[in-house]
Chain A
Amino acid sequence: MASVAVSKPRRAGNPKRHSDAAAAWGFLSPWIIGFLVFSGFPILFSFYLSLTKWNLLGEPQFVGLKNYRDLLSGDSELGRTLVVTLIFTVINVGVSILSSLILALLLNQNVRFKGLFQFFYYVPTIMPSVVMAGCMTLMFNSQLGVVNYVLRAIGVDNPPNWTGSTTLVWVVVAYASVFTFATGQQMLVFSAALKDVPTELYEAASLDGAGAWKKFIHVTIPGIAPMMLFNVVSCTVNSFNGAFTLLYPLTGGGPGDATKVLGLLIYDKAFKSFNMGQACALAVVLFLIVAVIGAVQFKLMDRK
């Protein structure tokens, strides 16, 4: 269904309206200004600055591709950050799509207290990330945290220092990110989609002798595929944009650089060490990655 995202405008052609063009551009003018000033120009300017050395004082000095070469060579800060960004996105998108779909499927059957369950699943989504970060810091604190208290109570002698370990910190990050900005929202979208799958299709499948699993594969999944793509796209965007808001207060990128996503690195480079050239080179890289992911996702949508 190409119409998923980019449904073609209706051809209701009404030839007598010639003045429409002028009016249309009038309506569009806020976007035109916004696009030029706040995104078109900034992207181009970022690209230019990525070819310079500049610490915000004086004039930017043109250095060619040096920033990109620096990013690729040496200890490869970029490579490490890209891996971290990828892990964060995959956890976020993968786990939340799966869990929200399961929750929506469970709620789609005749469930008692449906509204109550929906409330419990949705409300964490509205928690500000800063609040979630603070709460996680308290819960996973190695001394006074409730998680380790419970672990000790059930006989774990040396419960881990969650936020101090480069691997275990991901448990904390995953717990916080999946529940704050993904699952609840996506569950609502899936619930809405599930309601719209025509019941006749299930009945027809039953007549053909399909069991619950076959019905799920052949009726439910195709029926909600458009919403699935919508969820994947919006969750990917949210992961890239929301990563900073959650991780800055939660881990600050640490321990070490274990959770330093691209957004955090750009912030550090630009506004802590004032290395604008490198920060912009990173911004360009991030832009290209998202552009490729976006192109692939929209391509997939169009094929459907």
Chain B
Amino acid sequence: MFKAPKWYTVLQYTVMIIVALFMFFPIYWIFVNSLKTLTGISSAPSFFPSDPQWENYKTVLSDPSTLLYLRNTLILCVANTAGTLLSSSLVAYPLSRMRFRGRGVVFAIIIATMMVPTATLIIPQYLLFRAFGMLDSFWPLILPSFFAQPYNVFLFRQFFVSIPESIDEAAMLDGCNRWQAFWRVIVPLGKPIFITVGIMSASFWWNELFSPLVFINSDELKPLTVGALTSFQLAGGGNQTNWPLQMAFSMLMILPPAILYICCSKYITDGIKTSGMKD
């Protein structure tokens, strides 16, 4: 576009490298400290692990409660992602291409409820699930996903609008009904948005703390996020944390989303591009 002067190029790379250092440092620091010993961590911080304690990872991974938390998180991720993909895409379909009275109103309500904060809904939902006798179980955490969330409906709809209507009309001329057209045409063509929303949902539940704190009491139903708050406290030391183990645990919590990102980065960018608020 324009020929950059040399000082500009130098400045550009300097800024980019400094920002990268600042942004990536926490992850590096978690990694370095996950390899230290408890005594090593309280002396002067070293930036490179001199005597890496890989057994910290073994200790964390062989802790039965870590495995239990991991299992619970995986259940939440899988169930909520399945529920979200199914229900939100179904709801988005008629909004993207079917004519019916009231569509404008439905879409307006969906847009309006997109922003309702979780904290506003949590108390009545708590009372609702209490009335159902579902507290301290996975139901309050999983069930709402199966009934479509506005934001995901919106993302699906934006993508579906970009699929030419003539394609599923052709399918219906061949004898498909709407339901079959959805499954045979829209779902296969919508792969990028299914992957994008799926990744978003799984990462959300990998990260979610608020609702498990409210709905779950039993230790054996806690997900990793809640476990991270209480695990690895030193016995008898008040609020002393066993930092090397805590950091190894943290590292294990970073890895799955990082791997997911590396494998799917192409889809994530595509999904953002196509669903990102365009016609």
Contact = CB atoms under 8 A, between A and B. Distances in A.
A226 B278 contact: yes
Q: How large is the interface on B (under 10, 10 to 19, 20 to 34, 35 or more residues)?
A: 35 or more
Nearest to B121: A42
A32 to B, nearest CB: 9
Contact of A129 (B124, B149, B207): B207
Given A134-B228, A290-B117, A42 B30 contact: no
6 contacts: A20-B94, A38-B147, A43-B116, A126-B260, A135-B29, A241-B118
Interface string A6-41: 110110111001001101110110110111011101
Contacts of B257: 126-128
A132 B277 CA distance: 30
B52 interface: no
Interface of B: 1-2, 4, 12, 15-16, 19-20, 22-24, 26-27, 29-30, 33, 41-42, 44-45, 87, 90-91, 93-101, 103, 106-107, 109-128, 144, 146-149, 151, 153, 158, 161, 165, 169, 177-179, 182, 203, 206-210, 213-214, 224-225, 228-229, 243, 246-247, 250, 253-254, 257-258, 260-261, 265, 268-269, 272-273, 276-279
Tell me what chain B mostly uses at the interface: helix, strand, loop, or mixed: helix
Tell me what chain A mostly uses at the interface: helix, strand, loop, or mixed: helix
Contacts of A124: 23-24, 26-27
A14 B208 contact: no
Nearest to A48: B124
A188 B229 CA distance: 31
Given A192-B272, A192-B276, A109 B4 contact: yes
A142 interface: no
Interface of A: 3-7, 9-10, 12-14, 17, 20-21, 23-25, 27-28, 30-31, 33-35, 37-39, 41-43, 45-46, 49, 99, 102-103, 106-107, 109, 111, 117, 120-124, 126-132, 134-136, 138-139, 143-146, 149, 179, 183-184, 188-189, 191-193, 199, 202, 206, 212, 226-227, 229-230, 233, 236-237, 240-241, 244-245, 248-249, 262-263, 266-267, 270-271, 276, 279-280, 283-284, 286-287, 290-291, 293-294, 298
Contacts of A21: 100-101
B117 A263 contact: yes
A201 to B, nearest CB: 11
A30 B146 contact: yes
A42 B128 contact: yes
B147 A286 contact: no
Contacts of A99: 19
Contact of B272 (A123, A188, A241): A188
A138 B243 contact: yes
A35 B109 contact: yes
